[in-house]
Amino acid sequence: MDRSALAYNHAFTLCITIALAFALALSSCGRAPSSSEALAAADPTQGNPAPNELRTETRDGLLGTIVTISAYSDSDSAFSDCFGAIADVDRRMTANAADSEIAAVNAVAGKKAAEVSDDTHRLLLLARDIYEQSGGAFDVSIGSVSSLWKEDGKFARLPERSEIEAKLPLVSQGGIVLSEGNTVRIDKAGAMLDLGGIAKGYACDLVLERLKEHGVSGAFIDLGGNIYAHGRKPGGKKWRVGIRYPEIGDDAVACVLNVSDRAVVTSGGYERYIERGGATYHHILDPKTGYPAESGLRSVTIVAASSTLADALSTACFVLGLEGGKQLLEKYPECEAIFITDDNTLYTTDGLGGQVEITDSRIKLG
């Protein structure tokens, strides 16, 4: 199924990808599975033949989402190395499998430290930094609460308030002790790590590294809404990335930006959600309440050279809201953002001024 293609055909003549950052968990709401759908097909309307064909491969299920890599490359090993790198991150960092590094740390919480790989340790250090900079809006120790909202690893359950209240005191990045020798210790028994807000971004950066190692000079990576536009298309054109209209069940494109060598990562309340008793609950949680963040934003998109950073900051900004998010981004001058508020007003950080094309008349420029 490729609903994004409809938007593409109507609206654009260039390649475009719709940042549809929702995945299999959506099926819990009765919707068909979907994910970021790369539409970066070679443009038949362009007369100039590309130096290479754009080849697209998709895998479903890695890091709980659908991954699509489109690259100007005919190297089988380039693609298999990329998917292998994502599978490796999934294996080590998922909280959902009993044998991952993160599960091993969680299993001995309150008792002892566990050793993790260099990568996981470094990622946890970065997560701690973003926790500090964001005043706790981004907190990978959310696991004890986020797991209450999940069934079989998918966002699919509405917990009782009493369950959330019981677990909330365990959400405390301060209780995660990172020591030399790549050890991680969780102070409180029952506290848990959840890298769901940063692991896809990290995997995306690894894919980029692999592509560069294989000499690929143009590619479009999409890990469930974590987009990376690498290099340029044949003829030197930048990639066009569409940001989805941020409403459940509406696949229109809110705006488009032209980018090269940039991660474009969106967090939105329409991505993974459940409906219960007429109310909708999405999967980005406010660590202070344990409930879905209600900050006046419908989506936040971060544009940055690092996908890892963009992933964590998009989650943090979504929790913080427009003003708090802008303040946070002042500490990250290399990152730009597009905020869409509950009343459909679009704001950008100064560095994106004029680069965002609004493509849906329901969206106003703030």
For residue 141, the minimal CB distance to Mg ion (Å) is: 15
Q: Does 267 bind ligand ADP (CB under 6 A)?
A: yes
Residues 6+ apart with CB under 8 A from 230: 71, 208, 211, 212, 216, 217, 218, 219, 220, 221, 261
For residue 319, the minimal CB distance to ligand ADP (Å) is: 5
Q: Does 24 bind ligand ADP (CB under 6 A)?
A: no
Specify the residue for token string 């890091």.
63
Half-sphere exposure of 281 (CA within 13 A, CB side): 19
Residues 6+ apart with CB under 8 A from 365: 345, 346, 358
Residue (134 or 348) nearer to ligand ADP, CB:
134
The one among 197, 242, 269, 321 contacting Mg ion by CB under 5 A? 197
Cα(166)–Cα(362) distance, integer angstroms: 41
Cα(61)–Cα(322) distance, integer angstroms: 32
The one among 159, 225, 321, 325 contacting ligand ADP by CB under 6 A? 225
Cα(297)–Cα(313) distance, integer angstroms: 14
Stretch that binds ligand ADP, among 54-62, 117-125, 157-165, 191-199 (CB under 6 A): 191-199
Q: Does 283 bind ligand ADP (CB under 6 A)?
A: yes
For residue 287, the minimal CB distance to ligand ADP (Å) is: 5
Residue (192 or 346) nearer to ligand ADP, CB:
192
Stretch that binds Mg ion, among 20-28, 76-84, 124-132, 305-313 (CB under 5 A): 305-313
Is residue 11 within 8 Å of 359, Cβ to Cβ? yes
Q: Does 147 bind ligand ADP (CB under 6 A)?
A: no
Residue (234 or 287) nearer to ligand ADP, CB:
287
Q: Does 90 bind ligand ADP (CB under 6 A)?
A: no
Nearest-10 Cα torsion for 151, 134, 314, 333: -160
Residue (121 or 233) nearer to ligand ADP, CB:
121
The one among 94, 106, 315, 348 contacting Mg ion by CB under 5 A? 315
Cα(253)–Cα(73) distance, integer angstroms: 28
